[in-house]
Structure 1
Amino acid sequence: MAGTTRDAAGESTGRPRKASWKYIGPGIVVAATGVGAGDLVATLIAGSRFGYTLLWAAVIGCLVKISLAEAAGRWHLATGRTLFEGWRTLGRWTTVYFAVYVVVWGFVYGATAMSSSALPVVALFPDGPGLKTWAVITGLTGLVFVWFNRYAVFEKVMTVLVGVMFLIVVYLAIRVSPDLGATLAGLVPVLPDGSLLYTLGLIGGVGGTITMAAYGYWVNAKGWHDAGWMKAMRLDNRVAYLTTGIFVVAMLVVGAELLHSSQIALTKGDRGLIDLGAVLEDRFGAATAKLFLIGFFAASFSSLIGVWHGVSLLFADFVRRLRGGEGGAAAVGAERSLPFRAYLLWLTFPPIALLFLDKPFGLVVAYGVLGAAFMPFLALTLIWLLNTSRTPAEWRNGILSNVMLSAAGLLFVVLCVQQVRQLPW
């Protein structure tokens, strides 16, 4: 576009005259990273137990995520400051919380992400190496990919993975012949007996992780650094979560049509998708089952490399602020910085040990508490940052943003309490 410039990474840095589809990217990355195998299973189980009844909750969940990601992106563009820089203005407690969180969470998540990505590969190649070997291979592949590639390539690969999983899941939803009448009826808010926790989980779980906080860093890495990119960011965010919404609805349809009517139960956790692969093979044949496993891998591996890249950017910014550095962590060169690469190594090598050992009890509890508390932390600190003089008056929260972020904060507090109660104390 005339009137724009390019940064060292080849991304446009000038202000666009208007939002354009060609700018879509960071939103797709954050949505793809947030939707992992566990979210797919949760959606499938909701569909298998309650049919289409909770479809409305999935739609609300996408609206909540749009609000959170928009707020994170707006902070970066309106203030020219990173999210961690904003957190530090709220007090030292944010630094202490994040320091503990990012170390413990990354250690346990690394093993979880590698196992999740390996499951469909083992199912596709049953005569090959075992689960733990494939898990190590996927982790090392993610490490090498993020280590040697910059954001532009990373975004393109993530977009391809999103396209693969989106097309496959939508194809499956069409293949199971959805009941359109029941689908539309599912948009009416209803709470069947025993569905409250599933409803809250459906609203809060799909696409909601620490990578929501990484959205602003990916926006900066794209070459967007000021409020002139606000319209482009908002379009990018809405398109991404509209895509996620369709994806989630498609998974709910598959659960409702394929599992609910047959009273088939799935295993909780990522292995539930292996169960679904077996059901698909019985119903539609081996080709459809293998196609689904490819989509399963795309969902899991996109989450893996998304965390490897996005949370490493957060960590690089965390270290830079502690050292008193200036400038955004998503600036050119951050992806080659020592803190970025050190956290990449932390996500990959120490967690490999957990693949061969039972997770230590204390670590499981700490991971559960810290992980459950992050989304309330993000929602409530964004409300704080975007309603004060830290943000230019023009870009502070309006009534709608405050309502959505407050609702998100309350929702995540409830989910946090519930998840903590379910931990193996």
Structure 2
Amino acid sequence: MATEDNKQSGAGTTPAPSSSEETRPPVRKASWKLVGPGIVVAATGVGAGDLVSTLIAGSKYGYTLMWAAVIGCIVKIALAEATGRWHLATGRTIFDGWRSLGSWTTVYFAIYVVVWGFVYGGTAMSSSGLPLEALFPGVLDLKGWAIITGLVGLAFVWFNRYAVFEKVMTVMVGIMFVVVVYVAILVSPDIGAAFAGLAPVLPDGSVLYTLGLIGGVGGTITMAAYGYWVNAKGWTDSGWMKMMRLDNRVAYITTGVFVVAMLIVGAELLHSANIAIAEGDKGLSDLGNVLEDRFGAFTSVLFLIGFFATSFTSLVGVWHGVSLMFADFVERMRAARKADGEGDGDQAVAAVAGGQREKSLPFRAYLLWLTFPPMTLLWLEQPFGLVVAYGVLGAFFMPFLAFTLMWLLNTSRTPREWRNGILSNVMLFASGMLFIVLCVQQVREIPW
């Protein structure tokens, strides 16, 4: 099995460098057959809440904000490319890079990953349970379906490795893609208005919707997890750079199709009929009812299946990707303590990097943290202090990611050949400033 995985990913094909001199890794050709981590990050990053926010933007402003959706995908391509480039160019993980910037990054990440994981776990399970409750009315209530999806996600990630995980995520993305595009075609889009929406225009009162559309769709912490999925695929050196860049573009072109399709649905189905839907995941349940009234039960059921695929891929993707990040976090802390005690940090880190994180105790411990403690939130309203902490920490993550990547990729921490160019710096700086604005707005909206 391991041999087959290596054949598919390309792992193990790099010739060993000679003992007398270092050799540059061979440049691999970019092949569509090897695309994978990008599909995973697209599936994980586009959740039910993201699709609803796009729907609402379309319902309020029609096609006017189409340009913002396109810019949002370009911004995310730049961020994910920078994350993947760091992993491949340096052979170090993003958390290892953050640690090199100072202990403050470790403190922030430690608090963030614990609080975020607790709240997100309950949210993801609830979101995945909603379409199942609608598809099978009267069988179980929302709490029951939510618990089942959490347990299924836990078992799937616990007992499978990346190769299987990627294949299943690809199938689920296919379901999402077909359903969302089908619904967008069904509502008869106005092609002329859609192209007109590519011209940057800001209708009255649309600034925050526009910023949210640019920055909110396509992942938060999963952007940082992309580098870990790249490594899990078997891409571990700069010879895979071309392949990673193709993979990354596929990811966010796919994301762009989702966003544009849902904007079309919002513009044609909701905006034209002046229909309002709820914010958050329940908005997709509302849309299912609208589709049933307009196009019949078959379309509604098909949409609910796509809704489930969208929510469940986000759940499983986070269960896998963020657990990899947490395992790396724990491993680096252990390596640092060993280095302090033995004075051989490089060897300690190298030993850690060669480990199998998907089988490690920290990986599985974080899986359990994402699954069982958050189940209490299905019965209880989120505690006030937890809501505040989650909102503040979450709002700061994307500016944190954008500006730390600029720091890492413009210094001697990165080989000169792979440091940022002008375009990368402009995109990362622009995205960082955008996320600061969104951060301030999100903090202002927290119920202090």
TM-score interval, smaller chain:
over 0.9
Question: Paired residue for 1:219?
Answer: 230
Measured after TM superposition, the shift of residue 69 of structure 1 is 0.3
Deviations 1:194-252, CA, capped at 9 Å, x for gaps: 00000000000001210100000000000000000000000000011111111110010
Question: Paired residue for 1:161?
Answer: 172
Give the alignment's TM-score, normalised by structure 2. 0.92
Question: Paired residue for 1:380?
Answer: 403
Give the alignment's TM-score, normalised by structure 1. 0.97
Equivalent position SS for 1:323: helix
Equivalent position SS for 1:95: helix
Question: Structure 1 residues 223 and 403 mapped into 2: Cα distance closer, same or farther (>3 Å)?
Answer: same
Q: Is the 8 A contact 1:66 1:237 kept in 2?
A: yes
Q: 1:189 aligns with which of 192, 200, 214?
A: 200
Q: Is the 8 A contact 1:82 1:328 kept in 2?
A: no
Q: 2:251 aligns with which of 225, 240, 256?
A: 240
Letter of the 2:364 counterpart: R
Measured after TM superposition, the shift of residue 43 of structure 1 is 0.2
Structure 2: which 5+ residue stretches go unaligned?
Answer: 14-25, 336-347
Q: Is the 8 A contact 1:317 1:328 kept in 2?
A: no
Measured after TM superposition, the shift of residue 31 of structure 1 is 1.3
| 1:79 pairs with 2:102 | no
Question: Paired residue for 2:65?
Answer: 54
Q: Is the 8 A contact 2:28 2:240 kept in 1?
A: no
* Equivalences, count: 421
Question: Paired residue for 1:362?
Answer: 385
| 1:11 pairs with 2:9 | yes
Distance in 1 between the 2:251 and 2:442 partners?
27
Distance in 2 between the 1:54 and 1:101 partners?
32
Question: Paired residue for 2:343?
Answer: none
Distance in 2 between the 1:233 and 1:291 partners?
33
Letter of the 1:152 counterpart: A
Correspondence 1:17-416 to 2 at 5 A: 17-324=28-335, 325-327=348-350, 333-416=356-439
Question: Structure 1 residues 12 and 329 mapped into 2: Cα distance closer, same or farther (>3 Å)?
Answer: farther
Q: Is the 8 A contact 1:150 1:335 kept in 2?
A: yes
Distance in 2 between the 1:246 and 1:355 partners?
32
Distance in 2 between the 1:411 and 1:27 partners?
23
Equivalent position SS for 2:382: coil
Distance in 1 between the 2:300 and 2:354 partners?
42
Question: Structure 1 residues 329 and 277 mapped into 2: Cα distance closer, same or farther (>3 Å)?
Answer: farther
Q: Is the 8 A contact 2:98 2:404 kept in 1?
A: yes
Q: Is the 8 A contact 1:81 1:328 kept in 2?
A: no
Letter of the 1:394 counterpart: E
Question: Structure 1 residues 242 and 330 mapped into 2: Cα distance closer, same or farther (>3 Å)?
Answer: farther
Question: Paired residue for 2:447?
Answer: 424
Rg larger in structure? 2
Measured after TM superposition, the shift of residue 9 of structure 1 is 8.9
Distance in 2 between the 1:10 and 1:206 partners?
30
Distance in 1 between the 2:351 and 2:273 partners?
52
Deviations 1:332-356, CA, capped at 9 Å, x for gaps: 6210000000000000000011111
Q: Is the 8 A contact 2:8 2:34 kept in 1?
A: no
Q: Is the 8 A contact 2:332 2:352 kept in 1?
A: no
Equivalent position SS for 1:263: coil
